[in-house]
Structure 1
Amino acid sequence: MSSTIWNPKPVRFLEGERIYLRPVGQEDTEGYFQMLFNPEMRRLTGTRQAFTMEGVRRYIEAKSVGGDTVLLLIALSDNDQVIGDVALQDIDHINRNANIRIAIDSAEHLGKGYGPEAIRLLLEYAFGLLNLHRIELQVFDYNERAIKAYEKVGFKREGVQRDALYYNHRYHDSIMMSILEDEYRALYHQA
């Protein structure tokens, strides 16, 4: 009988060139909690609510059981440092659609292509293994870096919800974007 050696390195669920996506676990509760209070991340995502450690623990537990959400942490391949999270949410297997969201934790990791790489990994999973047809997202008009990143990956603008977010004494528009499986395949699976 052979003995199994426990390897404490994180599971690399979806692996890219410079990053990988891994499941979130209870051991990530404190780090995830801290990430939720990063002021720049809160501004870019329009987050206003406060969170408790126990609330974050329950959220992670609920999202790790499956259901209509795939929540993954984004980690650097060379040192396993978690730099954000990405989620496929409201997965509808009948209509074959879902929405996607992403948050990069700190300014030092922005503008380096990690976000588009993480989104492409999750889109590959969504269109390939989950057999989805349409992925949508919403982004606030002041988050120009994210808009450019989504367009770079292949998302197209569908419309604008005017004054959808009231944040820091001002109203902001929400831009709706989506990508269809055939558009994704044309960009990334050319024969």
Structure 2
Amino acid sequence: GIVILNQAERNKGIGAEAITLLTEYLFEALGLRQVYANILEDNLASLHLFQKLGFQQVGVKKDWVRFKNAFKNEILLQKINS
């Protein structure tokens, strides 16, 4: 997971750089073919970030996470090294 708790440090490219470095390492050094991320559907900032970095939505886990007496869907995103 990736979390930038300090609001003032968000939207500065830190998360994008971390994800880019990680995926490059996974694809190039470890030779992985694909990586995935699970993100709650209401976390629009994270969904946008991962999609901007080439991850594509491939599924939805319905009512996957219980939060304050309600259930939330989780979006499955995948990036395949081509």
Q: TM-score surpassing 0.5?
A: yes
* CA deviations over 1:72-101 (Å, ceiling 9, x no partner): xxxxxxxxxxxxxxxxxxxxxxxxxxxxx2
**Alpha-carbon offset, residue 105 of structure 1:** 2.3
CA RMSD of aligned residues (A): 1.0
Helix, strand or coil at the partner of 1:103: coil
Matching of residues 45-124 of structure 1 within 5 Å: 101-124=1-24
Pairing 1:133–2:70 present? no
Gaps of 5+ in 1: 1-100, 183-191
Indicate the percent of aligned positions where both proteins have the same amino acid.
28
Q: Please name the residue that 1:142 is paired with.
A: 42
Pairing 1:172–2:72 present? yes
Alignment partners' CA distance in 1, 2:51 and 2:39: 12
* CA deviations over 1:101-120 (Å, ceiling 9, x no partner): 21212212222221111100
Q: Looking at both structures, which has the greater relative contact order when contacts are Cα pairs under 8 Å and sequence separation is at least 6?
A: 2
Alignment partners' CA distance in 1, 2:52 and 2:44: 12
Kindly name which structure, 1 or 2, has the bigger radius of gyration based on alpha carbons.
1
Using structure 2 for the length normalisation, give the TM-score.
0.93
**Alpha-carbon offset, residue 134 of structure 1:** 0.6
Alignment partners' CA distance in 1, 2:43 and 2:10: 12
Picking from 46, 51, 56, the partner of 1:151 is 51
Q: Which amino acid aligns with 2:58?
A: E
Q: Which amino acid aligns with 1:108?
A: A
Gaps of 5+ in 2: none
Using structure 1 for the length normalisation, give the TM-score.
0.42
Q: Please name the residue that 2:81 is paired with.
A: 181
Q: List structure 1 segments (4+ residues) > 4 angstroms apart after TM superposition.
A: none
Alignment partners' CA distance in 1, 2:49 and 2:7: 15
